[in-house]
A = this chain, B = another copy of it.
Amino acid sequence: MSKTNSGNFFEDFRVGQVLTHATPRTLNEGDRALYQALFGSRFSLQSSDEVARAAGYACSPIDDLLAFHVVFGKTVPDVSLNAVANLGYADCRFLKPVFPGDTLSTVSKVIGLKENSDGATGVVYVRSIGRNQHGDIVLEYVRWVMVRKRDKASPAPETDVPTLPKAVDAAYLEAPVGTDFSKFDLAASGSVHLWDDYAVGEKIDHVDGMTIEEAEHMMATRLYQNTAKVHFNQYMQNSDKAQRRLVYGGHVISLARALSFNGLANGVKIAAINAGRHVAPCYAGHTVFAWSEILAKAEIPGRRDVGALRVRLFATKDQPCATFPGVTEGGHHPAVILDLDYWLLMGRR
């Protein structure tokens, strides 16, 4: 029996299969600082223990997306080591804050399978659940990924495509228990614009651009213990069409979220990700820009201090966003690399 993990191929998955992923990971102040250095986020809740305590937290929580990337990273050796493409995310909910000292681990369940007509690949749907050391679910999400078959001759499984919500129902959105954003310090947060001030259909150019370096996306992706070879192995990538190491899609999500501060500064946390697609690859040397459209607004059940904005966040490469490059009849604007639909919590008046 080989000592080396070669990952699962399409024919290794079964609907209902449970994958307990390796390497629990304790997050700490060092992870927070590195995340800060890599993305330059300025949301006050994730930057200041004082702001967090005033809002009812024990201390400043770990950025939602850092927790997401760590939970996601664990799934790679079992789910996507032999992936051709990460196709999408859905039904992602952030359920508990993560604090320095918390240890995250991930379990996934295979919830769907569909072999492609070429017989060489298939789509695997998994629901991944990240828990802390107390067993509490901190976040969960569904992703689907195209995975190679080990052997083209392997019989195709019965097609079983799960029904996924187009968006997380606002009725299920939650703000963390014990928090209160009614006295959120707007001088500290850097913006006077609250939930009440945003209109459905409003578009916001986040203005700034951030150029990505190889060292940066590799350090980030190793921080999450994500082992996908395409991010790290230039020798192998020399044989790839692009001849480049691919930037982890989650790196672009984090950059776009950090850029969105300029226009959404009071967006205190991500409550849910409804859908996400990495529309085009991103490589080192690209400058990432972002813009947002407000798709909907919702009240949070039982909360008067905070509401939810449904935001469609586009990231582009080497393309400023003053003209809001997004989707047209012919598909995405060629500069778009990320199309993310999420629920953002923001304080109310």
Q: Are A4 and B262 in contact (CB under 8 A)?
A: yes
CA gap between A236 and B35 in the complex, in Å: 24
- How far apart sit A236 and B209, CA to CA, in the bound complex (Å)? 8
**Partner pick for A219 among B38, B49, B222, CB 8 A cutoff:** B38
The 3 A-B residue pairs whose C-beta atoms are closest, nearest first, are: A30-B33, A22-B190, A40-B222
Seed contacts A29-B33, A208-B229, A211-B214; 8 additional CB < 8 Å A-B pairs? A3-B202, A22-B265, A25-B48, A29-B29, A33-B34, A47-B225, A209-B235, A215-B216
A193–B3 touching, CB < 8 Å: yes
Interface string of A28-46 (1 = CB under 8 A from B): 1111111011111011100
Whether the Cβ atoms of B30 and A207 lie closer than 8 Å is no
Q: Are A219 and B188 interface neighbours, CB within 8 A?
A: no
Chain B contacts for A34, CB-based, 8 A: 30, 33-34, 37
Number of interface residues of A (CB under 8 A): 83
Residue A287 interfacial (CB < 8 Å): yes
Note all chain B residues with C-beta closer than 8 A to A318.
235
**Is A240 located at the chain interface by the 8 A CB criterion?**
no
In angstroms, Cα B236 to Cα A288, docked, is 11
Q: Which residues of B contact A213 (CB under 8 A)?
A: 213-215, 218
From B50, B210, B285, give the contact of A232 (CB < 8 A).
B210
A236 to chain B: which residues have CB within 8 Å?
Answer: 209, 287
